[in-house]
Every structure is written in C-alpha cells, then in structure tokens.
C-alpha cells in the first residue's frame, strides 16, 4: 500500500518562489518606431508643411536626461540620433529656378512667386498686388500715413521696413551689392542692375522721337525735354529753369550764399560737397593720395586716376551697341554713337548747320563765319562814328 503525501499550500508556495528565483529571465525587447511626422496646416495659404520639431525636442530631452542620471542610452538611441541628423539635413528646400535654399516648403513656395510673377495679395485702395501679405501690410502704411519704422541714427521714419534698411546704409556706409566687373559697390540692388548696363552696353529705353536709346529711364526723360523744349523746374528768384529738381536745388545755393563745406587747409568754402572734395585734391598733400604707379602722375580723384590707368592697361570697358568698337571713356563712346544714330546736337546760329561734335561746330564757325562777324563789327563801328 503506497502512501501519498499531500502537499500543503505552504509547500507549493515555497516551490513557486524557488522556481521564479532560479529561472532565466526573458529578455526585455524595446521596439523602436519612427515617430510619424506631424502635419500642420499653414493658415495663410492652406499649404501643408511637415514639422518634425516636436520629435526633435523630445530626442534632445532624452539626451539631457541620460547626461544627468549618468545612464547609458540604449543602442536604439544611437540609431535614433543618426535618423534625426538625416531629417535635419533634409530640411533644406532648394529652388529649381535659381538654386536658392530655404528652410521650409512654404518659404520655397512663396519664393517661387518671384519667378512665376504670381501676386495673391491686392491692395483695396490702389489695386497694387504683392507676393506676400507682409509686403501688402507695409504698403498699406502709405495710404494710412503711418511711419512705424524709425531710423536709429537720425529722426527720420519710414512706412516700410525695406526703405528703412536701405536708408540706414547711408549711416553705416554698407554697400552689399558689388559689381563683379569693376568691383564698384552699391547700397541698392537696382542701382547695381543699372550700373551693369555700362559693361553690357544694354540700353532698354528708347526715344520714340529720334530712336536714341538709353541705359536708364531718367536719362530718357531728360532727353525728351530736348524735343519738347520743356524745363519743369523754375527758380523763383531769377526765373532760370532746369530739367531736374536736383539741378534747381544746387542752383538755389547761389542765391542763399550757403557754403557749408570749408577746406581745413586754406579756409575756402564751397556750396557743394563734390566741389569741396575736388578742391581738396588740389593741395599737394592730399593730391598724392591718387598717384599712378606707372608714371607717377597724380590726380584729384580716384575716378580720374582709374580713367588714366587705362592708357597703361589698354582697358576699354565702354562698347558701342551698334558695332564692336570699344572706348576708354563713356563720353567718347557717346560721341561715337552719334555716327550711328545720326544725332547732331550742335547747331550753328549763323547758318543753321548741325554737327555731332562741339569741336566740329567751332571749326565751322571759325572758317566760315568769322570774317562775316568781323565785317559786321566793323560796319557797326563805322555807323557809330558817323552818328557822332
């Protein structure tokens, strides 16, 4: 007869405890999943922009916590860091038209409007359209008279931030736009664009009266006054008229006797800064600043020195737009182009004959009319004697 020992509840409990202590623990498996990108709708254009900043911030918090506690991150964290770096590298969006890189798809789409000409934001006051809402907002200040952008160097204020930025370059002397042909710098991109036409010979503005072409619209406007004989700006003191407002402003100093620019070497004063600077160079101590190292000739300005140096270098930056001939000076090019255009601005007052050069008119007058002038003067003297 076999005796079967019944196991009590305490014995079973002890057995289970021993088994839990001595069994191999199952490995803890951590599943690494890529966080899905958070998609946020951009309210202004209704465009979708992928934002991974939240997951990046979480990753950075994890890294900081490990550094504080001294714990070593799990192996999957290293993979996560590599993936994070890849995502950060992919955040650059490149314009397919000009190659410019931007930090988001939205900014890239807004930039593309520069190339497509798309202008979604229209002013309800004047109908002018803009590519960005911020530009329209600045434009509205023109209509409501607000000038929220104040210069930190002087008391002037402006309606647009871009105009303020350009103005402040007067104080700072910053000229960020440089010509790659002659290294001349400018405060505005438009000024550089206009200057480049000196090198390219481009003249997009044409006179509809005589066909003469110009590199700048302002030059065409001044030229048109030759045909209309219109002088828009009149001096209220002597009735003298001028083609430009700036010319009238300079002329008014003749009446005011205002000469704010004084030479520290001789005390002579000048109404214009340009005249003052030119005068200063007449003093030997200042003149030596602009010296040609080839022939040791000195000049009163950097422009005159630069023009002179072309004699040694053979540089001819001014090209005729009608033929392949090149010149060292813009004035010589201008005179040459009159051969192609047929323009003859110099008129003989005696016979009405026209010439394309002042020297040609002078020679013509001397050889053809000087005797007549002398004869006329002699007759006048005889008449005066007879009257006595």
Q: Which residue has the tokens 């023109």?
A: 142
pLDDT at 386: 56
Q: How many Å apart are CA 127 and CA 108, to the nearest integer?
A: 26
For residue 196, being part of any structural domain is answered with: no
> What's the pLDDT tens digit per position in 139-149?
888 888 888 88
* Strand-pair partners of 241: 234
For residue 334, being part of any structural domain is answered with: yes
- Give the end of a domain, one of 135, 164, 193: 164
For residue 328, being part of any structural domain is answered with: yes
pLDDT at 54: 41
Prediction pTM value: 0.35
For residue 382, being part of any structural domain is answered with: no
Kind of pairing between the strands at 233-234 and 121-122? unpaired
**What tokens appear for 230 in the block?**
């219109």
Residues 6 or more apart whose CB falls under 8 angstroms from that of 171 comprise: 151, 153, 154
For residue 348, being part of any structural domain is answered with: yes
- Give the end of a domain, one of 133, 164, 195: 164
Query: By residue range, what is the domain housing residue 159?
Result: 94-164
CATH number for the domain including 316?
3.30.160.60
Q: How many domains does the chain have?
A: 2
Q: How many Å apart are CA 263 and CA 273, to the nearest integer?
A: 11
For residue 214, being part of any structural domain is answered with: no
Q: Give the start-end residues of each E strand in the chain.
A: 38-41, 48-51, 93-94, 101-102, 121-122, 129-130, 149-150, 157-158, 177-178, 185-186, 205-206, 213-214, 233-234, 241-242, 261-262, 269-270, 318-319, 326-327, 346-347, 354-355
Q: How many Å apart are CA 140 and CA 128, to the nearest integer?
A: 10
Buried b (16+ CB within 10 A) or exposed e, 258-274: eeebebeeeeeebbeee
For residue 132, being part of any structural domain is answered with: yes
- Give the end of a domain, one of 109, 135, 164: 164
For residue 318, being part of any structural domain is answered with: yes
pLDDT at 71: 47
Closest to 360 measured CA to CA, from 343, 374, 340, 346: 346
Which residues in the chain show pLDDT less than 50? Answer: 1-10, 12, 15, 17-18, 20-21, 25, 27-74
The total of other beta-carbon atoms located within 10 Å of residue 243's CB is 17
pLDDT at 30: 42
> What's the pLDDT tens digit per position in 238-278?
878 777 777 787 787 777 777 777 777 787 888 777 777 77
Alpha-carbon distances, residue 257 vs 4, 253, 260, 261, 280 (angstroms): 134, 6, 9, 12, 20
């Amino acid at each position: 007869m076999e005796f079967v020992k019944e196991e009590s509840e305490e014995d079973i409990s002890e057995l289970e405890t021993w088994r839990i202590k001595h069994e191999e623990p199952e490995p803890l498996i951590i599943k690494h999943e890529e966080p899905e990108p958070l998609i946020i709708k951009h309210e202004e254009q209704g465009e979708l922009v992928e934002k991974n900043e939240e997951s990046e911030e979480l990753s950075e918090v994890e890294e900081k916590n490990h550094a504080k506690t001294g714990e070593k991150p799990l192996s999957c964290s290293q993979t996560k860091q590599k993936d994070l770096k890849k995502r950060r590298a992919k955040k650059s969006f490149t314009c397919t038209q000009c190659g410019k890189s931007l930090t988001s798809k939205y900014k890239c789409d807004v930039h593309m409007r520069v190339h497509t000409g798309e202008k979604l934001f229209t002013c309800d006051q004047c109908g002018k359209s803009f590519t960005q809402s911020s530009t329209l907002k600045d434009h509205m200040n023109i209509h409501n008279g607000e000038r929220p952008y104040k210069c930190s160097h002087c008391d002037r204020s402006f309606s647009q931030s871009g105009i303020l930025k350009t103005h402040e370059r007067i104080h700072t002397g910053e000229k960020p736009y440089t010509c790659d042909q002659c290294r001349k710098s400018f405060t505005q991109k438009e000024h550089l664009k206009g200057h480049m036409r000196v090198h390219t010979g481009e003249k997009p503005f044409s006179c509809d009266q005589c066909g003469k072409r110009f590199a700048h619209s302002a030059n065409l406007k001044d030229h048109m006054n030759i045909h209309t004989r219109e002088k828009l700006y009149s001096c209220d003191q002597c009735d003298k008229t001028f083609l430009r407002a700036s010319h009238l402003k300079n002329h008014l100093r003749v009446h005011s006797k205002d000469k704010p620019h004084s030479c520290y070497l001789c005390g002579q004063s000048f109404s214009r800064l340009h005249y003052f600077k030119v005068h200063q160079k007449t003093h030997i101590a200042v003149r030596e600043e602009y010296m040609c190292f080839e022939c040791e000739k000195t000049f009163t300005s950097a422009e005159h020195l630069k023009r002179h140096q072309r004699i040694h270098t053979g540089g001819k930056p001014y090209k005729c737009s009608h033929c392949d001939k090149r010149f060292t000076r813009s004035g010589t090019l201008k005179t040459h182009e009159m051969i192609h255009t047929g323009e003859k601005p110099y008129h003989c007052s005696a016979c009405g004959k026209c010439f394309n050069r002042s020297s040609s008119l002078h020679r013509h007058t001397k050889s053809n009319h000087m005797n007549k002038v002398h004869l006329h003067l002699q007759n006048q003297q005889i008449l005066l004697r007879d009257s006595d």
